[in-house]
Amino acid sequence: MSSITSSLTRALSADPTSLPRKLSVEFPPLLFPLDSAKPKSSLDDFDNVQELTANADLLLTLLPLSPLFKDSLLLFPDLRECEEARKRFPGKMFAPYTYSTIAAAAKHYDEGSYAIPWGERIVSLVNPSSLGDPKVLSPLPPPAPPTLAFAVQPGNAGPVEDWLNLEPIQKATGASLVIINGALDKVTSGYYPRPFFPALAACSDRFYRDIEAAFYLKPVQAKGLYAWVYRVYGEPWQVVLQEEDDGEVTDVVCWQGERKPSYEECVRAMLDAGGGEEGWKKREREEFI
């Protein structure tokens, strides 16, 4: 986790007014736990709460690393997660930040554009106390000069309205909005069919298509090879092949460019660095033997 927070600090420590207005952070959060918990891959059992907690922990570990983050707006997906985050990170070090939820901030900055999740409508009528204690929220300032806003896991296993509500928040504040593991590939790839989610499709075209990666780290596997697609804002995209020899792992940069590589480009670069098709056949024979 420390290598991720240091990379993010490097990416975001420029003058906030010079940063892109929309940035994303994408990596497998449970592979890099903050505490001594065992790392978890996509093949392990885990729930949405564990993932949310890991993403919130990343954010609150990052904030004290740079004085430029001190006026940041922190946007949690719900009151409960905001409440739990404040419990896990008490003390004066974490007091200066503005704690809110995506819903509360959207209502505050542009109530006319607020998209109400259908689940919130029902729960607010049946059992409003289960939504959490609104006392954990900080008073929200009026729209101010550009600063940083961090959104923790919006939309991912939550309401699609989270993605919609980030747009009016960013536009009203003028902040550089940093979205942490918001599953934005689902928003921009057509995962949600346009005929059934027209508002989300329009928001994707208008707001999310040109988002910039502040930090990106995702694994890619093909033909017995394992690599990572890696990028820190301000630096090139890379495909980093991991080669193992006698128990020692070596990182080899096998592709570099100014844009995110396609899966096919990743596979070709990995194969070229790993001995091509002959190397693949050799690895298959060794695994068979």
Q: Which CATH architecture has domain 2-216?
A: 3-Layer(aba) Sandwich (3.40)
Whether the per-residue pLDDT at 114 is higher than 80: the answer is: no
Residues near 33 by beta carbon (within 8 Å), at least 6 away in sequence: 1, 39, 40, 54
Mean pLDDT along residues 169-183: 93
pLDDT at 283: 45
**Considering only CA atoms, which of 19, 21, 130, 9 is closest in space to residue 58?**
9
Q: What is the mean pLDDT of residues 187-200?
A: 93
Question: Which pLDDT does position 276 carry in this prediction?
Answer: 55
126-145: average pLDDT: 68
- pTM value is 0.82
How many residues appear in the chain? 289
Given a cut of 90, is residue 264 above it in pLDDT?
yes
Nearest alpha-carbon partner for 273 in 215, 231, 235, 220 = 220
Q: Which of 203, 209, 212, 261 is nearest to 233 (CA)?
A: 212
Domain ranges of the chain: 2-216, 223-288
pLDDT band at 287 (very low <50, low <70, confident <90, very high): very low
Sign for the CA dihedral angle at 165, 166, 170, 175 comes to: positive
With cut-offs at 50, 70 and 90, classify the pLDDT of residue 132.
confident
Tell me: pLDDT of 279 over 60.
no
Instruction: Tell me the three state secondary structure of residue 156.
Output: coil
The answer to whether residue 161 scores a pLDDT higher than 90 is: yes
Burial class (CB in 10 A: 0-12, 13-18, 19+), 270: buried
Q: What is the pLDDT of residue 285?
A: 41
pLDDT tens-place string over residues 8-45 = 888 887 666 788 999 999 998 887 666 545 554 444 44
Q: What is the pLDDT of residue 139?
A: 78
Residue 130 in 3-state DSSP?
Answer: helix
Within 10 A of 51 (CB to CB), how many other CB atoms are there? 18
Quick one: pLDDT at residue 8? Answer: 87
pLDDT of residue 49: 82
pLDDT digits (tens, 9 = 90+) for 202-251: 999 999 999 999 999 999 998 889 999 999 999 999 999 998 877 788 89
The per-residue pLDDT for 40 is 47
pLDDT at residue 124, as a whole number: 62
pLDDT for 155 equals: 87
